[in-house]
Structure 1
Amino acid sequence: MTASAELRSGKGAGDENFPVASFIIRPRYRALILAFYEFVRVADDIADHATLTEQEKLARLDRLEASLLGQNDDEPQGAHLRDVLAARGLPAVHAQHLLCAFRQDVTKLRYDDWDELIGYCQYSAMPVGRFVLDVHGESQATWAASDALCAALQIINHLQDCGKDYRALNRVYVPLDAMAAGGTDVNALGQAQASPALRQCLRGLTTRTATLLAQSRPLAGMVGDARLAMEIATIQALAERLIGLLLTRDPLSERVHLSKTAMLTTALRASASTLTRRLFSRGAPSFSPVSR
């Protein structure tokens, strides 16, 4: 069996909707976060692969986990992440939780309601934020706000790609009860343009996702690391802008992603605002590019 990385989609950290270990993050943490990302990216691409069978996908995800846990060295990304985690004394549990989500992607194609979707986010999204917080040595008191942010990011992605996920993977993250309540069903996701009923359904879910962002808004002020606070503020601001697009645009027929320019300007404003607040509220933060 070839290494799973050979089956990657070609998508990298720079192609994501939100920053992945951007230059804002301290260099001493960036390599570890990127090792985590590379492991997760390989697993995600396996779960979404167009030609692998369900059995082949699950076997490869199991082999990735075995490499992560030191049971083999067959998957380079698993072995590398294992080594860098061990060097920092960090557990593999967050990566393992994400593997649970990818296995679920392989075997589960529909979600009955909002609670079931949030249950999926507990494995598909929340571990990412918890991992980054752990890498920075932040308190677990930050986890609840981080969980809300990560769940919001995941659902935003689901809403942006609802048509593509249905057409390419027959996978529907839009809760079935929300569609039924609006008088529509999954077949509407395969159309070139969203019907009024589907638009109303998606707007309702977008509004509900905005409540998660309201819960996550304090997170940047809760963390001790100034650079991480700026990264979180950037992600929060980008998510809020995407919520605005989803409320006004049709994800089946219109672009609901930010341009590179819009992402950059949003990031600069959010970072500058966060840094200014910290300067006035806590004194000048440590902002040296070298490890502290």
Structure 2
Amino acid sequence: MTLAEERRNETRTDRATTDLDRAARRENFPVASRLLPPHARGKVVAFYRFARAADDIADDPDASPEAKLGRLDALDRALSGQDGKDPAAALRRALDDGRTPSDATALAAAGELLVAFRRDAGGIACADWADLMAYCDVSAAPVGRFLLAVHGEDAVTHGPSDALCAALQVLNHLQDIAEDHRDLGRRYLPGDWMAAEGAADADLVGPALTPALRRVVDRTLEATDALLTEAAPLPTLIASRGLRMQAAATVALARRLHALLRRGDPLARRVALRRADFARAGLSSLWFAP
């Protein structure tokens, strides 16, 4: 590849990242950060587009579960190298068909996401915390594994990364418990904890948390706090400067959202991070810049 071609590719990637920056403002923890080095950013952008496409299929309110599964199967075929011009095929090309070990690992991580989206397609009700963590193993952990793979990070990062990704997933679910149940037929809160505290699925769409549902939310937050403790060492284990800083900022944002959900009622009003929270997290990440 000539220098001119490399520059054109970098320009296209920067434009794509800018477009995704706008879209990612709706996300608590966007993966397409400008902290990431240019050599990885194009792969991450392609991954983001693939994940959003799969998520949109699973969340399509006008499609039947069977239709959703068919469209997800088409994504899977494209990801495995069959004909396709969708974001799955684009991701495979960005990963050079998985020719290197790191790209092969990243490609496998993307495929794992489709397992979670297939489960989402027909509605979901988690039986217990173990069931929720099993869901996070395919819906959240692959995101971290993908980022680590394209940066060539050591396997020692996997455990803390999986814990952080699971915590982020649970916190997002707690923000959206009403919408998930009302609009998508999903309940991610552990069913056995719901039963033990006397909470019902109908409580998920009430005007405010009932005392029983508040106890379930708090119990879920306590379990999530343990995940965040396990995730805390992650920034110190990452070699890549940009990814290390992003991980540090993400841990800080997760802690902040955790605190907000402890005090807030996600049924009564939206519990969300503010610009000041992102600014503080960005400043805290500078500690990991050297």
SS of corresponding position for 1:98: helix
**Aligned equivalents of 2:281 and 2:35: distance in 1?**
10
State the 1:266 CA deviation: 2.3
State the 1:108 CA deviation: 4.4
Aligned residues between the structures: 264
8 A Cα contact 2:160 2:230, kept in partner? yes
SS of corresponding position for 2:181: helix
After TM superposition, the score normalised by the length of structure 2 is 0.88
1:273 lines up with 2:284 in the alignment: no
Aligned residue number for residue 168 of structure 1: 183
8 A Cα contact 2:123 2:184, kept in partner? no
State the 1:267 CA deviation: 2.6
**From 35, 44, 49, the counterpart of 1:24:** 35
Aligned residue number for residue 76 of structure 1: 86
**Aligned equivalents of 1:179 and 1:266: distance in 2?**
35
1:127 lines up with 2:142 in the alignment: yes
What is the letter of the counterpart of residue 95 of structure 2? L
Deviations 1:232-268 (A, max 9, x none): 00000000000001111111012211123322x1232
**More deviation, 192-201/56-65:** 192-201
Deviations 1:104-139 (A, max 9, x none): 111342111000000000100001100100000001
What is the letter of the counterpart of residue 149 of structure 1? L
Aligned residue number for residue 223 of structure 2: 208
What is the letter of the counterpart of residue 280 of structure 2? T
**From 48, 51, 54, the counterpart of 1:40:** 51
SS of corresponding position for 2:74: helix
Aligned residue number for residue 192 of structure 2: 177
CA RMSD between the two structures: 1.4
8 A Cα contact 2:123 2:185, kept in partner? no
8 A Cα contact 2:57 2:72, kept in partner? yes
Aligned residue number for residue 253 of structure 1: 268
**Aligned equivalents of 1:147 and 1:189: distance in 2?**
27
**From 21, 45, 66, the counterpart of 1:55:** 66
Aligned residue number for residue 5 of structure 1: none
State the 1:15 CA deviation: 1.8
**More deviation, 107-116/30-39:** 107-116
What is the letter of the counterpart of residue 215 of structure 1? E
Aligned residue number for residue 284 of structure 1: none
After TM superposition, the score normalised by the length of structure 1 is 0.87
Aligned pairs (5 A) from 1:180-191: 180-191=195-206
What is the letter of the counterpart of residue 164 of structure 2? L
1:85 lines up with 2:99 in the alignment: no
8 A Cα contact 1:165 1:172, kept in partner? yes
8 A Cα contact 2:256 2:277, kept in partner? no
SS of corresponding position for 2:153: coil
SS of corresponding position for 1:12: helix
How high is the sequence identity, in percent, across the aligned residues?
43
8 A Cα contact 1:176 1:185, kept in partner? no
Please state which structure has a larger fraction of its residues in helix: 2
